[in-house]
Chain A
Amino acid sequence: MLAGMLRCTARLLPPGQRDWAAAVWAEAPEAPPGLARLAWRAGGAWMLVREALLPRRIGRAILFAAAAAVAVWAAWPGSSASFATPGVRGYVITMVLLLAGLPLLAIARITPGPAAAAGAGPVSAGWAGMANLLITAAS
């Protein structure tokens, strides 16, 4: 089944990258039979799915847009009668802008590579803010 899935997914790769799918498959007999070989093939399948279906930037952008939409939907106050409504709306808008801005700031300011681990701080802060927004909305 995994073999069939791997071959189908490989067709989704650009022609120049299909060799890589075949390469993972060709190496599988080198791994000891059993779990190690299964893990090798599963890793290859995951690599193919990631390369073919989830180019990083697109995947992250979709994830962010979905999370932001859910957060706004959950936190946006329905009634404008309350004096607190404009404040809450301002909070929601500020939080979403902050969430959008922090990863961009991290990407622009921090060198790619190992140093990018430092960029996890602002990004994590953004996701923590998103969680905070959802918790606030739920309470």
Chain B
Amino acid sequence: MAGRAEFSAQTLLVLAALCAEPREWLHGYGIARDTGLKSGSLYPILIRLADRGLVEARWEEEQPAGRPRRHLYRLTSEGLASAEAALASTPVQARAGAGGRGGRWVVRGVRWAE
């Protein structure tokens, strides 16, 4: 089982965002908005997570009007287990300095492991 030490604070933010709605496919800009990460930080994290089999990605099936198709992401079952374990083992004091919007470990109103 993955522990917190395997993930950086920014990666934990991304995992927390994906964990908030584990069955939903989220798009990159939404994750960036929720975590406060810039695209240059977010996408390398998503690439590493996908390489490790913790995140799966797909393109939107239908072409929406007025915008390009989005690339969508969600946790795999292994990713969900790893994320939950990592987030549960994250000490409160570490989360307080973890970053994200306002430096608080809150993603979409979910506070982890309290």
| Residues of A that sit less than 8 Å from B by CB | 17, 19-20, 22-27, 29-31, 39-44, 46-47, 50-51, 111-116
Contacts and interface: CB of A to CB of B under 8 A. Distances in A.
29 contacts: A17-B47, A19-B57, A19-B59, A20-B47, A20-B71, A23-B43, A23-B57, A24-B39, A26-B68, A27-B27, A27-B29, A27-B32, A29-B67, A39-B39, A40-B32, A40-B38, A41-B39, A42-B40, A46-B40, A51-B47, A111-B5, A112-B5, A113-B5, A113-B8, A113-B11, A114-B4, A114-B5, A114-B94, A115-B5
Contacts of B4: 113-114
Given A26-B70, A29-B67, A39-B38, A47 B5 contact: no
Those 7 A-B pairs whose CB atoms lie nearest each other, nearest first? A43-B40, A23-B71, A43-B39, A30-B29, A26-B68, A27-B29, A46-B40
Interface string B43-68: 11011000000000101000000011
Contact of B70 (A17, A27, A31, A47): A27
A44 B67 CA distance: 18
B7 interface: yes
Contacts, number: 79
B43 A47 contact: yes
